[in-house]
A and B are shown apart, each in its own frame.
Chain A
Amino acid sequence: MTMIRGILLALAGFAVALPVQADTIFVSNEKGNSISVIDGESLKVTGTIKVGRRPRGITFNQDMTLIYVCIGDDNRIDVVDVGSRKVVGRMPSGPDPELFVLEPGGKHLYIANEDDNMVSVLDTTTKKIVGEIQVGVEPEGMGISPDGKILVNTSETTNMAHFIDTASHKITDNVLVDARPRVANFTADGRFVWVSAEIGGTVSVIDTATRKIVKKIAFQVQGVPKESIQPVGIQMTRDGQRAFVALGPANRVAEIDVTTFEVTKYHLVGQRVWNLALSPDEKRLYTTNGVSNDVSVLDMERGRVIKSVAVGGAPWGVIVKP
């Protein structure tokens, strides 16, 4: 543990030593059928990329030259070239893709088919579906272990986290979590999976080895009804010390101390916050606010929102390129 921390600290030092380089933020707009491009330095929208209908899940390929976008209403993945900011290709996805995860090796994309109780496995090199895994009702969240061996899919109506062996495509365990699980996120060391439950209002921390829930994190915001606290997006710092959870219509992001699982702060952001991304230097957190149609930029050092950037209709997913 100390050795890992030492390496991470060294890495952090290395990052600081680099010349300041502006980040680029990409936001999928569910209603706008587009990707908004935000310049990290000026915090202005510098471009809008038109994609298919109902773009939600968004991720980079391994070398960050391409962006894959789940196009739910057109049943496909759009491929956007980061350099030219144009859609350069399409890939099959199975019906109604909502979220996906790219394996660390960069080859296989695991896609949740919300409408079909299924996870599709896409080979991004051949652009062919190479496997289908039957899961619970309304699959959504997708997380993959750092070694790429374990895939975790959540199903919103079955209310489970399905642990899937990526070699055999077989479900090895099903962990019952609270109602309507949305996002699954492995810790950097791969020991735990965090699963948010939107209706249950909690985040379950599952031990990867025992497949048992070791902690259920609950939230409470003064003046906000319990029903409005709906955890969705999860992000963690690389050092594994802090986690951030988007709380939907509570319009807050909870900051959590990962060692104690205590919520240390609630950050006020835009309306119906669903997904989050940390800047590469981890000094900022970007949030997508689906009802106020903007992205909140949270300054982590000052602990407050420094800007709201208006984007397209109903921003959903967000990723950041250094």
Chain B
Amino acid sequence: MTALSRLILVGALLLGAPAWAADPTVVRIGYLTRAEEPRIPLTFLEPVADDEGVQGARLALADNNTTGRFLDIGFELVETVVEEDGSVADAVRGLAGQGIRLLVADLRADALLEVMGTPEARDMLVFNSRAPDDELRNERCAANLLHVTPSRRMLADALAQYLAFRRWSTWFLVVGRAPEDAAYAEALRRAAKRYGARIVQEKGWTFEEANRRVDTGHVTAQTEIPTFTQAPEHDVLVVADEADAFGDYLPYRTWLPRLVTGTHGLVPTAWSRVHEQWGATQLHSRFERQAGRWMRPRDYTAWMAVRAVGEAATRTRSGDAATLAAFIRGPDFALPAFKGQGLSFREWDGQLRQPVLLAGPRMLVSVSPQPGFLHQFSELDTIGDDRPESRCRAR
């Protein structure tokens, strides 16, 4: 079986019936993802979704076309899903063959690097809508790779600023077993140093992962967690569990009555259902009508990527990929994305500068950057890698 035949080409998906004129400009945007086992959340309240990401891209496509209707610009989304063991490089070749020059990559870091390594990708502007890895913005950066999803460092800095604002400066760090948990913990250590916090102790989570649905499971949790969380005096327990393997077991069971934050509890995130400010209500409402579930961060970042193309096409009145790419990276680009200010890409590493939400399970708690953290150019650059710190040399 050839690698190509393993591709599931969903093909061009046109939402709605855009009423553009006979010979309109059509902007084609590729969307590339890889099939994977759906993430099973530890909580029963959150439904399992197998369409995370792509739903956001589809909504942005509809938004682009509503606007494009008034300007005779149409947008198409070419969705490609690579099988779990399929080759993303082959998929990129396939997309390039269909004339795709603007690509939304809903991929993990390794697959994204594989995409960036293909000769075909060199002629594309690629939006990283999923991988938070700091390496992709530093040592492994690329001139034609833009990151709409916030980096782990941005998330950690956003949290650290808020904890500094509350003067909760001693942290107890609990780290899961997955490699991404270690990366998240590394970002937290860096943030602690930047914002004057002290990590009093670190512990690795070593318990066996169990099925979430266990009768009288709470009894086990209630026995394990209090002893596990014994640690020197601290203000907050910061947890690194991106895989959602145990984080939700921690709140209310800690040895000391301390709040839980990090990947669980009070969470720094690009998007959350609890956020309803700056018109976010409308985005939730459109999304829920379309997808039948809440919008998640991966949906939101894919939405931002496709909207960035739409915004550029509207402003330049062009459908030419090179023109759009130049505008998106240029000084006049600003993406309105329900965060109360226009968002733009950092020229030194291609990261989208953006406020980060601090979301509780049921209510928005705050939005970073926090007041008082000043910057000579943009306060948004107080979170994540600022120009002098960047190790990106490819741009």
Contacts and interface: CB of A to CB of B under 8 A. Distances in A.
A95 to B, nearest CB: 9
Interface string B214-225: 000000000000
A158 B70 contact: yes
Contact of A227 (B71, B311, B335, B342): B342
B336 interface: yes
A200 B333 CA distance: 10
Contacts, number: 68
A201 B334 CA distance: 11
A227 B67 contact: no
Best-surrounded residue of A180, A201, A249 (most CB of chain B within 10 A): A180
Interface in A212-245: 225-227, 230
A115 B70 contact: no
B315 interface: yes
Nearest to B380: A227
Contacts of A157: 63, 67, 282, 336
User: Chain B binding site: helix, strand, loop or mixed by DSSP?
Assistant: helix
A222 to B, nearest CB: 15
A61 B31 CA distance: 51
B279 A138 contact: yes
B342 A199 contact: yes
Given A179-B342, A200-B334, A159 B314 contact: yes
Contacts of B70: 136, 158, 160, 162, 171, 174
A137 B336 contact: no
A199 B336 contact: yes
Contact of B341 (A138, A155, A199): A199
Interface in B278-297: 279, 281-282, 285-286
B378 interface: yes
A255 interface: no
Interface in A88-123: 96, 114-115, 117
A230 B281 CA distance: 19
Given A179-B342, A199-B336, A227 B379 contact: yes
A159 B282 contact: no
A176 interface: yes
A160 B286 CA distance: 19
Residue among B314, B341, B378, B379 with max Cβ neighbours from chain A (10 Å): B341
A117 B342 CA distance: 22
Given A136-B66, A156-B279, A179 B314 contact: no
Contacts of B334: 179, 199-200
B388 to A, nearest CB: 20
A176 B279 CA distance: 20
Interface string B54-80: 000000000100110011000000000
Interface residues of B, number: 22
A137 B66 contact: yes
B329 to A, nearest CB: 17
A200 B342 contact: yes
A56 to B, nearest CB: 12
A265 to B, nearest CB: 25
A294 B52 CA distance: 42
Interface string A286-313: 0000000000000000000000000000
Interface in B331-384: 334-336, 340-342, 378-380
Contacts of A226: 378
B314 A114 contact: no
A152 to B, nearest CB: 14
Query: Which of B315, B340, B378 has the most chain A CB atoms closer than 10 A to its own CB?
Result: B340
B332 to A, nearest CB: 10
B315 A227 contact: no
Interface in A25-62: none
Interface string A171-184: 10010100110000
A199 to B, nearest CB: 5
B336 A156 contact: yes
A167 to B, nearest CB: 20
Interface string B30-69: 0000000000000000000000000000000001001100
Interface in B254-311: 279, 281-282, 285-286, 311
Nearest to B65: A137
Given A138-B279, A158-B70, A227 B63 contact: no
A114 B285 CA distance: 11
A136 B314 CA distance: 13
A179 B67 CA distance: 13
5 contacts: A115-B282, A136-B66, A158-B314, A226-B378, A227-B380
Interface of A: 96, 114-115, 117, 136-138, 155-160, 162, 171, 174, 176, 179-180, 199-201, 225-227, 230, 249
Closest 9 CB pairs of A and B: A174-B70, A158-B67, A227-B341, A179-B336, A199-B336, A199-B342, A180-B336, A137-B66, A138-B282
